[in-house]
């Protein structure tokens, strides 16, 4: 059957995007390992704090790559449920709908289905992460002046994937027993963006109640 054949060959097949690897032996790799170790302690507020003597840009870069990989994986588990038919628009509940624009290829926001939107979004993020002038992986190469604003845009957009999953696909998440994984990942994400004030409160509105629930226990 041609359509399923096409589907499996298209990029929206199971593996959603290749994982973005931080080069082993690099300082960023050490930072990632540090982040993983502190996460293991169970105290997320502590885990997101800037390690002493580290560069904020680098810390934000490493964590942004990590969140991209996590969301990529989480969304990958529910792609079967997120289709042109089930999600003709990219939404996070009835009140929030997102239209895609990246400012370069698509300047005027377009209305598109959730899988299409998320494909645009993740491809765009991946292009940013792969851009050595924005996300330098080599030691001593400085971050660009606009790094923080790029990182904020990336995180703001990644949040929308969480919001879509929570609002539109929470049932399959529960069926797949991914709920704890999703909650932990999202909680880590929220603590991180709160710690460095990276996403505007207005943008977080679609998941405000959940954010309050997840973070109130850890004041």
The SS3 call for residue 100 is strand
Q: Tokens for 65, please give them.
A: 């790559």
Q: Tokens for 17, please give them.
A: 């995007």
The SS3 call for residue 53 is coil
At a CB cut-off of 8 Å and minimum separation 6, what does 105 contact?
A: none
Q: Is 7 annotated as a binding residue?
A: no
What are the E-state strand segments in 92-202?
97-98
Q: Is 99 annotated as a binding residue?
A: no
Alpha-carbon torsion, ordered 155, 199, 46, 210, to 10 deg: -90
Q: Is 82 annotated as a binding residue?
A: yes
CA–CA gap between residue 63 and residue 58 (Å, rounded): 9
Q: Is 164 annotated as a binding residue?
A: yes
| Cα dihedral across residues 23, 135, 128, 81: positive or negative | positive
User: Residues annotated as binding site for Zn(2+)?
Assistant: 82, 87, 164, 169
User: Residues annotated as binding site?
Assistant: 82, 87, 164, 169
């Amino acid at each position: 059957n041609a359509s399923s054949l096409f589907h499996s060959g298209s990029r929206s097949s199971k593996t959603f995007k290749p994982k973005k690897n931080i080069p082993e032996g690099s300082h960023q790799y050490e930072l990632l390992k540090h982040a993983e170790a502190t996460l293991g302690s169970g105290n997320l507020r502590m885990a997101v704090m800037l390690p002493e003597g580290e560069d904020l840009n680098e810390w934000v870069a490493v964590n942004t790559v990590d969140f991209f990989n996590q969301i990529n994986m989480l969304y990958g588990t529910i792609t079967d449920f997120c289709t042109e038919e089930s999600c003709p628009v990219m939404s996070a509940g009835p009140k929030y709908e997102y239209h895609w624009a990246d400012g370069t290829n698509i300047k005027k926001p377009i209305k598109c289905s959730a899988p299409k939107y998320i494909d645009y979004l993740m491809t765009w993020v991946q292009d940013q992460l792969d851009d050595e002038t924005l996300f330098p992986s080599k030691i001593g190469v400085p971050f660009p002046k606009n790094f923080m604003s790029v990182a904020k845009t990336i995180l703001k957009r990644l949040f929308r994937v969480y919001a879509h999953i929570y609002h539109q696909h929470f049932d399959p998440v529960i069926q797949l027993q991914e709920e704890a994984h999703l909650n932990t990942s999202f909680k880590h994400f929220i603590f991180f963006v709160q710690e460095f004030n990276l996403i505007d409160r207005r943008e977080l509105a679609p998941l405000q109640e959940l954010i309050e629930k997840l973070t109130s226990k850890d004041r």
